[in-house]
Structure 1
Amino acid sequence: MSGAFGLAASARCPCGGGPQQQAYAACCGPLHAGDRPAGTAEELMRSRYTAFAVGDEAYLVRSWHPRTRPERVDLDAATRWTGLTVLRSERGGTDDEDGVVEFVARWSESSAGAERRGELHEVSRFARRAGRWLYVDGEHG
């Protein structure tokens, strides 16, 4: 059985979250499919990282706050997201209306036979709207 974009439902979720690093089908898969919303800002951030990793542009748009959302998200097929480390979370819990998550996302990219690697360090802001967590914006450092 396959999940989003050919990722096997039993494959370890790219976000690395959950106890014992859950399978995609038990972690971010249900959020991508619309079966349930993210319960916290950090869970939404992890699901958005996974959406980048599996190429789910539609989920990225749906989970972006309408005030700051672009019309579309164009993912670079040459970029592979290779790991995520959450550095801190502030607020963003089940009883909060906003939250902040700081993380480092690692990537690699092949171009003309050469491979480059790098990291994206971001402090992301989230807000809850109509009971759903949404990504507002982020500062890169």
Structure 2
Amino acid sequence: MAAVDFEQLVRSMGDAVVVTDGKGDIVLWNAAATRIFGFSEAEALGRSLDIIIPERQRGRHWDGYEKTMSSGQTRYGSTLLRVPALHKDGHTLSIAFTVALLKAEQGQVEGVGAIIRDETSRFQDERALRKRITELEARLAQPGDTA
């Protein structure tokens, strides 16, 4: 097999690939990221991740980001993280992602790469199912009532 063309791979992936530098500024944004979040590559490059992080989540996000940058460790390399995110038009998304730490030759973390999937539909389906189960359980708990 010939060498893998990683640029082609990233550009053609169905999941978003977003890479940030040590400050959290976006340095790579593929077509799937545009499809999911609504920002074009030109709009996203050089901007902070705040463009896709809901305001109420930012403090927690940046605390974790800074800790990861200084410690060189993350628990989200193999564990899927599910969080809310923002679309360009302001609506909320449910995303799931894993990250890879990008390190310099000396071992210090220089940036973070994330593979992101939009799970909004799945999340909404699960929420509706949980609601329906709760309703059915409540009906079954009422004496003399049958589902």
TM (normalized to structure 1)? 0.30
Bigger radius of gyration, 1 or 2? 2
Q: Is the helix fraction higher in 1 or 2?
A: 2
**Structure in which a larger fraction of residues adopt strand:** 1
